[in-house]
Amino acid sequence: MANTYKPFAPLVERIKKDGVCLDGGILKVDSFVNHQIDPTLLQSMSIEFVRRFANKEINKILTIEASGIAPAIMVGFLLNVPVVFAKKKKPSTMGDMLVTEVFSFTKNKSYSVCCSKDFLHQGDKVLFIDDFLANGNAAKGIIDLVKQAGAELAGMGFIIEKSFQHGGDFLRNSGFQVESLAIIDSLDNCQIKFKGE
Ligand code: 5GP
């Protein structure tokens, strides 16, 4: 499904003001998303996600710890549905669970991601929310977990998508509704180039 991209202006402005470009195509947004969190911006972004997925039936929000948890909670709060975060380490207390492998772009290694079968079931209509979409590896892991559970992925929402890493192409070409609030086409020469500007 092809979506038309609509930048969420308050986020784009904030990235211009406070985003820091690092070598290797990484954008640091530690002052408002990944370390310190701006709750007012988070609330407005979550309202925007709810608006963009208003066409979908959703009974659960799914994310991966840790950075996706804050936006996922806010969206879950607005939709009044539970929020589940897939865990990067198997807790000793977790019984029957679904497991998948995810390659981390920022850490350059693979890790297991797991989710208890108690919290992801057949028939669930899941919205995946995360901070960044880069190569799409975390998203592919989520697709696998949802498939293993026999649940349905209603859509995927990302705060920031880096289009030059092409995860978004893969997900959209696979037929998912993908909504990114800001899309960055290039971080070459440490210049942040936004899609559509
Ligand atoms: P992907 O799995 O799509 O390749 O990468 C997505 C994950 O990697 C996100 O959940 C995020 O934690 C991390 N990530 C990817 N690119 C960036 C980036 O430029 N900045 C930050 N802060 N995290 C990133």
The pLDDT tens digits for 73-104 are 999 999 999 999 999 987 777 679 999 999 98
The pLDDT tens digits for 170-195 are 999 999 999 999 999 999 998 999 99
* Ligand 1 centroid distance, CA of 137 (Å): 9
Measure the CA–CA gap between 153 and 58, rounded to whole angstroms.
9
Measure the CA–CA gap between 187 and 115, rounded to whole angstroms.
34
* Ligand 1 centroid distance, CA of 133 (Å): 6
Pocket test for ligand 1, best of 63, 67, 106, 137 (most atoms within 8 A of CB): 106
Measure the CA–CA gap between 165 and 25, rounded to whole angstroms.
9
> DSSP letter string over 31-48?
IIIISS--HHHHHHHHHH
* Ligand 1 centroid distance, CA of 180 (Å): 13
Residue 167 has pLDDT above 70, yes or no: yes
**pLDDT value of position 59:** 98
Measure the CA–CA gap between 148 and 180, rounded to whole angstroms.
25
The one-character DSSP state at 182 is E
pTM of the model: 0.96
The whole-chain average pLDDT of the chain stands at 95
Pick left, alpha or beta for residue 185 (phi over 0 → left; psi -120 to 50 → alpha; otherwise beta).
Answer: alpha
Amino acid at 73: I
Measure the CA–CA gap between 121 and 175, rounded to whole angstroms.
22
